[in-house]
Structure 1
Amino acid sequence: MRKLFISGLALVAAAALAVVATAGAGRTTSAAGAAIPGCSIGSLNLIDDGVLTIGADNPAFPPWFGGAEKTKPWKVSDPYSGKGYESAVAYAVARQLGFAKSKVNWTVVPFSNSYRPGKKSFDFYITQVSYSPARAKAVDFSKSYYFVNQAVVGRKGKPIAKVRSIAGLKPFKLGVQVGTTSYSYIVDYIKPSSSPLVYDTNDAAVQALKNGQIDGIVVDLPTAFYVTAVQVPDGVIVGKLPTKGTKERFGMVFQKGNPLRGCVNKALNRLWRNGTIKRLQRVYLARAGAPDLK
């Protein structure tokens, strides 16, 4: 696997404001969504007829999902709320395809399972999955709904907080969630003197940072702002990492060969053109600038 900085409390407030904004978008786009050529609900390849089933990781964290809603089985945020960038984008796509909110179901799927080969329990999956050629051999990806920069999070007062270059990160012990492009970035470009520690979840990596077991974690930039605002009291963004190679992008994940991807891409094209994507990014992902690591 993202400006004006806001605290964790303000993040929740911004999410509440977005409910009003996305509700308004629903009034203006639902009719248009049903008009996408070749994409009537009855023609879509869905797990359950007439219902759009969306997969997400659990916990589902802000700013990608809502701020403080907890409804079983969701541990942190409830995607049904429509709050948070990815939840809001998913519902905006659903409206473009003609689905009422009551016809959208969410299902828990671990991040690393989303792009494995095989039959899927979702129509599409949305939890900061970056496109890569290797992953695309097993699943299909939609067009981008977000272009990504990675960032390094450390703790204030620690030596890593003074680093201003990629080379300066090499002596430090870094942690990362398993199966992420953040891990690939560490191995391919940072190349630290010791192998990064890998954790099953980002939450576990954050806890290791808090416990002093690692010096820093690598995550996408919006997640870095959430970690420093809410999860790690003395957390600091050491810096934003430069793009290396092809620009990283998040896409929805589909079972290989599912023609639903074509209709979702058409919906995303509309949302980029009519400004919905940019508006939702301003609502949920706007932050103060982070220093650039060279």
Structure 2
Amino acid sequence: MKLKTKSWTLIILLSMVFSLVVSGTLSAIGIKADTTDPTYEKIEKSGVLTVGTSPDYAPYEFQTTENGKSVDVGMDINIAKKIAADMHVKLKIKNMDFDSLLVALQTGKVDMVLAGMNPSPARKKSVDFSNVYYTGGQSILVNTKDAGIYKDKNSFEHKKVAAQTGSLQYNLAKNQIKDSSVTGIEKGTDLILALQTNKVDGVVMETPTAEAFASNNKGIKVIKGGFDLSSADSSTAVALPQNSPMLKKHVNTTLATIKKEKLIPVYLKEAGSHLKSNTANTSMLHYWKFFAMGVGYTVFISIIAVFLGSILGTLLALMRLSANKLSNLVATAYIEFVRGTPLMVQLMFVYFGLGLFVNLPALTAGIIAVALNSAAYVAEVIRGGINSIDKGQTEASQSLGLSKSDQMRFVILPQALKNIWPALGNEFISLIKESSIVSIIGVTDLIYQLKIVQADTYRGVAPILVAMILYFILTFSLSKLLKFYEGKFNHA
């Protein structure tokens, strides 16, 4: 009973520590007001400007294929190139989900964000913004067959509407479309897919982006939004870390040059040409290299995570079965804590939270998070397998004079492995699918590549179907391999 109480005490303490670290992370985000500019100094020292974006928002930022490789293009990308050139540094683009961009900026993963971002009052509380470089209107996308039904926002009362999560458009829809059901969706391509599959009746989107989607998809049409923008700033600016005066000065100087030389129309025209080239060949076969790369990363992440997770899981299982109360307590707390929190939260914490102290690459952070998560489940599977072995086996090995470590190594674990192999195999298969979560921090796994192909081709369902087939091939092949070895165990 005391051990159980201590276990819960440690779990609560670990939760408190986790909260404190997160709080510390958020506190560290707001660099104390100072005359120095740490971000600018870091850029000067490294000679690299790291810009965060979410390449699913044409014509601001999206991706196209050049020489068989996917590259970021669009108005924002050209602006980023101009800023880097004026600062005489190299440009590095980091892609991730829109919702993760400000966290990445606050935790130093990126130096600035260019993603068609609106400098809203809520965002200004946590980050700074440059001068406005573009102002666009707000429109609504509908299916072409419904174009005669909807005229503006007032036509969507009691209807289903979608917009990008955390965006100005989402707030406009929520506040100005009466009695409507508003859904937030992260990716622009997923918004279009929701519209095309009749999950929603309309999609609120910034006019240039809405027109880009409509011009490349005959099945959807743009209508006027009719939103009251008097109390909402629909402009676009560069997001910057707080208290970065030197960096802000350089960015605003470049934006002033862009405005003076009237480069925005040039950038938009160039983005339009990329959009046309993207839709020249939208067959899935044309994008086989993207899917192949995604499969490669998915398999690589899964293999490394399985290896590390199995080692740590075995150690945790032995610790939990140990007579040592401290070892038992630590293992129990770890397992319960990991199993009690979502993998996505753990991934975000490893990448962004620990990133304040150790600058982990996205791929490394993804592997660590998946491995640590898997270890907790593997530990319980192995513990259950060890407990299933008859006590007579232990007594027999003791009578032979085997040490405790030899008993576990030569007698208990081999028999336990035979019993737990099916459950362990299920965990490995699940891990392949769960590893898809790493796409949110920009790891180019299969799900990430699926979204790229969707953004490039403006086709929603076909890339999903290809990804489903590829995941099935991976999991089915692994299932057959595991069954083969299961048969070997049964005949051993």
| TM-score under structure 2 length normalisation | 0.43
**Quick check: 1:207 aligned with 2:193?**
yes
Q: Is the contact made by 1:148 and 1:247 (CA closer than 8 Å) also made in structure 2?
A: no
5 Å-filtered alignment, 1:131-146, equals 131-146=119-134
Residues 196-233 of structure 1: CA deviation (Å, up to 9, x unaligned): 12223222221111111111101111111122122x43
% identity of equivalent residues: 21
Name the SS of the counterpart of 1:115 in structure 2. Answer: helix
Tell me the CA shift for residue 285 of structure 1.
6.7
Measure, in 1, the Cα distance between the counterparts of 2:95 and 2:101: 10
Q: Paired residue for 2:368?
A: none
Q: Which of these residues, 52, 56, 74, is aligned with residue 53 of structure 2?
A: 56
**Quick check: 1:84 aligned with 2:80?**
no
Q: Is the contact made by 1:125 and 1:254 (CA closer than 8 Å) also made in structure 2?
A: yes
Q: Paired residue for 2:94?
A: 107
4+ aligned runs moved over 6 Å, structure 1: none
Q: In terms of Rg, which structure is larger? A: 2
**Quick check: 1:272 aligned with 2:263?**
no
- Relative to its length, the structure with more strand (as a share) is 1
Letter of the 2:129 counterpart:
F
Change (3 A) 1:194 1:43: closer
Name the SS of the counterpart of 2:106 in structure 1. Answer: coil
Measure, in 2, the Cα distance between the counterparts of 1:49 and 1:190: 48
Q: Is the contact made by 1:71 and 1:78 (CA closer than 8 Å) also made in structure 2?
A: no
Q: Paired residue for 1:225?
A: 211
Change (3 A) 1:257 1:213: same
Measure, in 2, the Cα distance between the counterparts of 1:199 and 1:56: 17
Q: Is the contact made by 2:144 and 2:218 (CA closer than 8 Å) also made in structure 1?
A: no
- RCO greater where, 1 or 2, for CA within 8 Å and sep 6 or more? 1
Q: Which of these residues, 182, 188, 191, is aligned with residue 196 of structure 1?
A: 182
Letter of the 1:106 counterpart:
I
Change (3 A) 1:222 1:237: same
Change (3 A) 1:207 1:241: same
Name the SS of the counterpart of 2:65 in structure 1. Answer: coil
Change (3 A) 1:161 1:262: farther
| TM-score under structure 1 length normalisation | 0.70
Name the SS of the counterpart of 1:279 in structure 2. Answer: helix
Change (3 A) 1:122 1:257: same
Question: How many residues are treated as equivalent by the alignment?
Answer: 232
Q: Paired residue for 1:234?
A: 219
Measure, in 1, the Cα distance between the counterparts of 2:116 and 2:199: 25
Residues 100-137 of structure 1: CA deviation (Å, up to 9, x unaligned): xxx11111232112234831211111111111011000
Tell me the CA shift for residue 153 of structure 1.
0.2
Deviates more, 1:60-69 or 1:144-153: 60-69
Q: Is the contact made by 1:225 and 1:237 (CA closer than 8 Å) also made in structure 2?
A: yes
- Relative to its length, the structure with more helix (as a share) is 2
Change (3 A) 1:56 1:47: farther
Q: Is the contact made by 1:162 and 1:238 (CA closer than 8 Å) also made in structure 2?
A: no
Q: Is the contact made by 2:97 and 2:186 (CA closer than 8 Å) also made in structure 1?
A: no
Give the root-mean-square deviation of aligned CA atoms. 2.8
Structure 1: 5+ residue runs without aligned partners? 1-41, 287-294
**Quick check: 1:258 aligned with 2:244?**
yes
5 Å-filtered alignment, 1:23-102, equals 44-46=41-43, 49-57=46-54, 59-65=55-61, 68-69=64-65, 78-79=71-72, 83-99=73-89
Residues 144-193 of structure 1: CA deviation (Å, up to 9, x unaligned): 121121110001122x54322432222321111211111001012223x2
Q: Is the contact made by 2:56 and 2:188 (CA closer than 8 Å) also made in structure 1?
A: no
Measure, in 1, the Cα distance between the counterparts of 2:270 and 2:67: 23
Structure 2: 5+ residue runs without aligned partners? 1-38, 274-492
Tell me the CA shift for residue 247 of structure 1.
3.7
Measure, in 2, the Cα distance between the counterparts of 1:284 and 1:188: 32
